[in-house]
Structure 1
Amino acid sequence: MKTLGLRIRQKRNEQNITQLQLSKLVGVSHVTVSQWESDTTAPKGENLYKLAQILKTQANWLISGIDSQHESNVVVAPLAPKTKKLPVISHVQAGAWTEAIDYMALGDDIQWEEAPSSVEENAFWLKVIGDSMTAQSGISVPEGSLILVNPNIPAENGSLVVAKLDGTDEVTFKKLVIDAGQKYLKPLNQSYNPLQINGNCRIVGVVTESKYKF
């Protein structure tokens, strides 16, 4: 009789996915996937739901080997996860970010952080470098903070954005200001001067969330 681990391995092989690739797609370690397939541990909750989606099967089938769509007219829908894992990428990687994301190309040592499940798949986390967005009052995003960047949100006046300037390899994090038809990238730290932009800048994405980990 097949076990949960054997069913995971069967579906993984059918999708031509390696254990390492599966671990990155689910957002767990390679060791965890190996333990699942050897029945040392079992996926639960959000991990089980994501695993079933990636392997194009049902969580019920992975657990019991029974396809509920054929055994019953009633199919219990799995609870949608409240969060998803998104990569923390470098400022250089962010400068080349596109909508067609190949997570496998990010490398084995990539860091992953939780984000709201409603965020698009091509969103990413970026670590803030420098103190140009550290303000004495109001909104302040200190160095070392993680910011969630969403490339699908249109940038408007007052948006906090990640932008790439022509002739540079890295991105910068600033506030977009539009005044009398002129556009500026404005630091929140008043010790720094705003930078006027005019066709020499590409907005990579809008920042929707930040967090600081001690």
Structure 2
Amino acid sequence: MKISNTRLSNLRRLMTERKLRGTDLAQLLGKSDAQVSAFAGKTPRKGIGDQIAREIEQVLDLPTGYLDVPVTVDEQGNAVVLGTTGRKLPVIGSVAAGVWCEAIDLFQPGDAEEWIEAPGPVGPHAFILRIDGFSMIPKFQEGDKVVIDPDLDAQPGHFVVAKRAHDKAVTFKQLRKEGEEFYLYALNPDWPERIIRLTEEWHLCGRARWKITDL
């Protein structure tokens, strides 16, 4: 797939997910509706170039290069990375993730159970978390691999890894906000402890960037 087609496909998926119209995107970019329609309308007249791709990623709070990575959508409607580029990242479970959160350092060969190439640009401390348990079904199944980037800021709605201070327990949840309080939220409606208030006892270790699925 050409890079322009990949960018357009990713942009359309994101606009659908976020319920954005062309006029909304134009306002975010500070461009006219006609300018945005030319590359993101129903019948675009030109491709999304490098400069506009980076501008879109910036206003949509996406990592640089996000639009350039080919993805597909699985049966649950999740975006799944198809291509792989960049350095190899360690695949670790929740116990190792707790150690990673304490001492942000680069894993060395032999420290991780598996190494997978990063699907796109990532920060220097990124790793791949293997999901344990069923608290995040149906979006995340046990055994799924998720790229976690500690160098990204986490906002409400993002999926994050958090560590509890007193027992070093690590959990993967969605970050939510109600009023001035932040919470860790389990997507599984049957999970016994579905909502955890984010107190000083909890430390956010990183934000999820991609889910990697073995096809």
- TM-score bracket for the superposition, by shorter chain length: 0.5 to 0.7
CA distance 1:115–1:102, change in 2 (3 Å): closer
Aligned-partner residue type, residue 172 of structure 1 = T
TM-score normalised by L of structure 1: 0.55
Aligned-partner residue type, residue 185 of structure 1 = L
CA deviations over 1:92-143 (Å, ceiling 9, x no partner): 2211225752423x636631012134111210001101111003xxxx0111
Residue of structure 2 in register with 1:111 after alignment: 114
CA deviations over 1:152-182 (Å, ceiling 9, x no partner): 0111111100000121223100001111011
Alignment of 1:174-193 (within 5 A): 174-192=173-191, 193=194
Deviation at 1:196, TM superposition (A): 1.3
CA distance 1:204–1:110, change in 2 (3 Å): same
SS of structure 2 residue aligned to 1:116? coil
RMSD: 2.1
Residue of structure 1 in register with 2:152 after alignment: 153
User: What are the ranges of 5 or more consecutive residues in structure 2 without an aligned counterpart?
Assistant: 1-83
Whether the aligned pair in 2 keeps the contact of 1:87 and 1:110 (CA below 8 Å) is yes
Separation in structure 2 between the aligned mates of residue 115 and residue 175 of structure 1, nearest angstrom: 22
Whether the aligned pair in 2 keeps the contact of 1:144 and 1:212 (CA below 8 Å) is no
Aligned-partner residue type, residue 167 of structure 1 = H
Query: Runs of at least 4 residues of structure 1 off by over 4 A?
Result: none
Matched, 1:127 2:126: no
How many residues matched?
129
CA distance 1:196–1:142, change in 2 (3 Å): same
Residue of structure 2 in register with 1:49 after alignment: none
Residue of structure 2 in register with 1:205 after alignment: 206
Residue of structure 1 in register with 2:87 after alignment: 84
Deviation at 1:200, TM superposition (A): 1.3
Deviation at 1:191, TM superposition (A): 1.2
Separation in structure 2 between the aligned mates of residue 91 and residue 158 of structure 1, nearest angstrom: 21
Larger radius of gyration: 1
SS of structure 1 residue aligned to 2:116? strand
Separation in structure 2 between the aligned mates of residue 180 and residue 108 of structure 1, nearest angstrom: 41
TM-score normalised by L of structure 2: 0.55
Q: Give the share of equivalent positions with the same residue, in percent.
A: 32
User: What are the ranges of 5 or more consecutive residues in structure 1 without an aligned counterpart?
Assistant: 1-80
SS of structure 1 residue aligned to 2:118? strand
